[in-house]
Structure 1
Amino acid sequence: MPNKTLLINRIAVSLFFFTNGFLYANWTARLPELQKYFGLNNSELGNVLFCIALGSMIAMPLAGWLGNKFGSDKVVRIVSLLFCVSIPLVAISQNEWIIRLCFLFLGAASGSMDVTMNGQAVLVERLWGKVIFSSFHAVFSIGMAIGAAIGGLFSNFQIPLQTHLTILAILGTLPIFWASTKLLKDSPITESKTFEEKGNNNKFLALKTILPFGIIAFCCMTGEGSMVDWSAIFMNKVVGQNETISAWAFGTFGVAMTIGRVFGDYFTVKLGKEKIMLIDACLAAVGLGIALAFTSIWSTFLGFFLVGLGLSTIVPIVFSSAGNLKNISPSAGISMATSIGYTGFFVGPPTIGYLAEAFGLRIGLSFVFALFILMALIIAILLGKMKSN
């Protein structure tokens, strides 16, 4: 049975995951209003969202390097507070270049927080002695579901965007301050030396080992990012519902993610990593297919629910596997996997914006559907290799 100190470590890391999901969902739930506030069409919104992708892609490898050099516990404290600061900035101005700069900062802070808090989660799981990684992502999803619901309420009561996001950002710093004092201290320098002493050949082998999981994460997180940024807009513009119901559409996805991740560790142990990922990939494809084929309010809710359930445990399994490779530090393994996976999370939504502007949002989201099929095929190949061995 884990001791009291380790339990506090687990709670502290969980608070980082919760705060990240909670704050991110609050602003994305009001994205249709932000789009009107900025006066952007789908393509222009895609350009703005690409700034999040750019900031993230620049910052994530740097965050992995810093975590490996100085310790993820030190880095996550700083980048988490920067993430809280970035939230109200998304509605601070209607000037095109200020908007892009603020979204670039948001992407950098969010991506850095993702890398370092996942590195902490790997350390806690190692000391815990059993599979618990999905539970951290369950807390993230709980934060997203609650954040989306609160975002919908603020929208319903017509609370100004800047007021809403500033209040929530201030509240978000409170758990971060407490949790920052309860993190695990890793040994980055020792682990980094062990990694580097193995030479470039082993670095190449490590990347080769992680690459299939990274591609799976890319497909999964493209879908997750698309649901985060476009589910409310899909319900609003394609299905034709008001902004409050549109925010709840994203909340449905978040609730399903939460349910899947709460039970994710149990089913991962019961069925095995590859088998549960294959089931999840098929669920996500079926769910998005339903939402795109039948654009009614209830088919959309059902489809987004199945997508959330399907995507729920794939990323936790990928990150746990990458962070527990032999002879590689958690920061190095997580950095490689997140750099591939989170590219999808941030690049996917703006890509859909460009496709939506040219061909309509249903066609734009069909790109994600194709990635879900690809993801299922890669997982099936991995499962086949396991059986042959």
Structure 2
Amino acid sequence: MSIRDDIIASRIPARAFIAMGMFWGVFGAYVPWIKAQAGLNDADFGLALLFGAAGAVGAMWIAPKVDRGLGAYAMVGGAVAMVAAFILPGLANSWAFFALAMLLAMGTSGLLDVIMNARLSGIEVEAGRSLMNLNHALYSFSYGVAAIGAGLMREAGIPPIVCFALIGLGTLIVTPGLRHEDKISNSDEAGTRHGFGLSKPLLICAGLVTLIGFMAEQATEGWSALHLERSLGVGAAEGAMGPAILGFTMGIGRLTGQVLTRFVSEGRALQGAGALAALGAVLAAWAPTPALVYMGFAVIGFGVSITAPMTLVWIAKTLPAGQRSLAISRVVLVGYTGFFIGPPLMGFLAQAFGLPMAFTILGALLALIAIVLVPALRFFARGGQPVQT
């Protein structure tokens, strides 16, 4: 099957992936403006994002019920809610306003994220082929395009509310096309929903790998522009290139992830990805020129791009078929926690030690994937079905 066939097969949820990527791309590019507009220091900004992260985790917890309740209109409802919520960060002029805005923006984003990934998984089963890497790549590419466009608009003095409104209008236009009937039955989940026989240490290690990967992705998206502008004194457009480069390299990494597994095992790929991303974080932290910092962000993006999908593939190959769905859902829930705690954690570290040291600590966490977590996964995987890792 060609990429064109895969795009056609997943065209409905793909619109949601693209829309979400564009909203977060605009946010990443406008972080310095929004932060200054609300009068926040690094710790205040990080605390507000942590407040928003709590909303995201709560929304993800109830997302399956919302998905079932709204049925075919679940992605439509999630997209409309996300559009309304993302208007607010562009208007924030105080910590309380910004914290509330991020609670709603991250909450609706987390809700739609779970729903669109669940619907995509159903389409994968129906189509009989993998579509996850492609759609996550679409998210990354749309994030990069939006970050560049938003950076140019910020350079021209256009306020964030205008950019968010334009993305919102475009999303609302395609929203009717997000209606999707889930044809995959959930009847086979009944026997495994209690999690009997699942290896908790295995799931914890897998969850930590995805958590660190998502945490590094979101921390870099949220703080790369600030690091470039504050540490190296570049302009708004040059600063926006940080999150844009991350998005593009993550898209390329995700497209190549499927090919990579034909030549190396999941374990070796994850160790290489963790080590590569760690080196990229250290380079981005201490490089003396913008070009080298851009290179560091590119290396981070390419490395972290495969951590989540490669871990999920490994879990699926290790566990019996009856346990895979529940195991993957638990790993994803732990992983997406990192997606939302990354930016606030960077805020606290930046306030305490400065952004270069914050990126260095992020690199140390990424190195744990290669040094500690993958060997632990190999050890605990021996209790499941034999798999070469």
Q: TM-score, normalised by structure 1?
A: 0.89
Would you say 1:146 and 2:138 are equivalent positions?
Answer: no
Match of 1:193 in 2: 190
Partner of 2:97: 98
The one-letter amino acid paired with 1:95 is S
Are the equivalent residues in 1 in contact too, given 2:34–2:90 (CA < 8 A)? yes
1:347 and 2:341 aligned: yes
Count, aligned residues? 380
SS in 2 for 1:91: helix
Q: Deviations over 1:259-309 (max 9, x none)?
A: 111222111233232222222111101111211232321110110000001
> Could you tell me whether the CA contact under 8 Å between 1:219 and 1:372 is conserved in 2?
yes
**Separation in 2 of the partners of 1:362 and 1:6?**
40
Cα pair 1:273 1:317 within 8 Å, conserved: yes
Does the 8 Å CA contact 2:225/2:239 hold for their aligned counterparts? Answer: yes
Partner of 2:12: 12
Is it true that 1:181 corresponds to 2:176 in the alignment? no
Q: Verify: 1:291 aligned to 2:284, yes or no.
A: yes
Distance 1:187 1:387, change over 3 A: closer
Change over 3 Å in CA distance of 1:329–1:76 after alignment to 2: farther
Residue 45 of structure 1 corresponds to which residue in structure 2? 45
| Aligned residue identity for 2:110 | G
2:242 to 244, 249, 261: 249
| 1:125–1:132 Cα contact (<8 Å) kept | yes
Aligned position for 1:318: 311
Contact 1:45 1:350 in 2 (8 A): yes
Structure 2 gap ranges (5+): none
Q: Deviations over 1:14-33 (max 9, x none)?
A: 22111111111112211011
| TM-aligned CA distance change 1:157 to 1:334, over 3 Å | farther
- Equivalent residues in 2 for 1:1-389, closer than 5 Å: 8-67=8-67, 69-70=68-69, 74-178=73-177, 180-182=178-180, 184-188=182-186, 190-196=187-193, 199=194, 201-202=196-197, 205=198, 207-319=200-312, 326-328=321-323, 330=325, 332-377=326-371, 378-383=373-378
> Which one-letter code corresponds to 2:55 in the other structure?
G
Secondary structure of 2:191's aligned partner: helix
TM superposition score normalised by structure 2: 0.89
Q: What is the percentage of aligned positions where both structures have the same residue? A: 23
Provide the rounded CA distance (Å) in 2 between the counterparts of 1:191 and 1:25.
Answer: 38
Q: What's the offset of the Cα at 1:379?
A: 1.8
Give CA-to-partner distance per residue, 1:106-150, whole Å, 9 cap, x none: 111111122121212222223333443211111111111111111
Task: Please give the secondary structure, in 2, of the residue aligned with 1:142.
Answer: helix
Inter-partner Cα distance in structure 1 for 2:11 and 2:5: 10
Offset, 1:72: 7.4
**Aligned partners of 2:256, 2:268: CA distance in 1, in Å?**
15
CA distance in 2, matches of 1:72, 1:13: 14
CA contact (8 A) 1:224 1:345 kept: yes
Equivalent AA in structure 1 for residue 167 of structure 2: L
Task: Return the letter of the residue paired with 1:185.
Answer: K
Q: Is the 8 A contact 1:221 1:342 kept in 2?
A: yes
Q: Name the CA shift for 1:129/1:388 in 2 (closer, same or farther; >3 Å).
A: closer
Q: Contact 1:61 / 1:335 at 8 angstroms: preserved in 2?
A: no
| 3-state SS, counterpart of residue 190 of structure 2 | helix
Where structure 1 has 5 or more consecutive residues not aligned to the other structure, the ranges are: none
